[in-house]
Amino acid sequence: MTNNRPTTLQEHAMRFGTVMGIYWIFKFIFLPMGFKIPFLHLLFVLLTLLVPVLGYIYARKYRMKYCDNEISFLRAFSFTLLMYMFASLLTAVAHYVYFRFFDQGFIIETYRTQLESIQSAGIQGLSDSIEPLMQTIDAIAALTPIQLTAQLISQNIFYGTILALFTALLVMRQKK
């Protein structure tokens, strides 16, 4: 038996959000590895910068394939925001697994070590700005894996909302 009902905006956002989430998980793998191999950290940054481009491509594909190449700002914003939210939820699972079972404080300690080496170098003016960063690192280190994951979800959704606004402006196309 086939189901001929039209798919909804939410279903498409889930599908594209799943692909986006897999992409985010893939790029997240390069973050801890990048502390040992600097090229991988550069790759992580470059892949992160490509997230808005990928969001635009998916929103445009949604407009062209499923909306007859016409989409309002609100619909484009809703689609893109939902896509980023679903990607954030999928990525949160990977973040939790990593921070709960694998990290054991590696990322935080690496950042702390890097900040301490900068501070010990005694560069004029830079040493004063290191102390607030050290306090921030200490606050992050006190978080449990679930708290850290919740923080990362909210951060991803916040930035996703901002990206969704700009993407919707670029993707929207009214009837002529």
Over the chain (176 residues), what is each successive 10-residue block's mean pLDDT?
A: 66 96 97 94 97 97 93 96 97 97 93 85 73 90 95 96 97 84
Specify the number of domains making up the chain.
1
Residue 158 is which amino acid?
A: F
Query: Quick one: pLDDT at residue 48?
Result: 97
Range(s) of the domain holding residue 149: 9-171
Q: Quick check: is 116 in a domain? A: yes
Q: Quick check: is 85 in a domain? A: yes
Q: Which pTM value belongs to this model?
A: 0.88
Query: Quick one: pLDDT at residue 128?
Result: 72
Q: Quick check: is 176 in a domain? A: no
Q: Quick check: is 4 in a domain? A: no
Tokens 């993707």 correspond to: 171
Q: Quick check: is 1 in a domain? A: no
Q: Using alpha carbons, list the distances in angstroms from residue 19 to 14, 83, 124, 167.
A: 9, 9, 46, 17
Residue 2 is which amino acid?
A: T
Query: Quick one: pLDDT at residue 1?
Result: 45
Q: Quick check: is 141 in a domain? A: yes
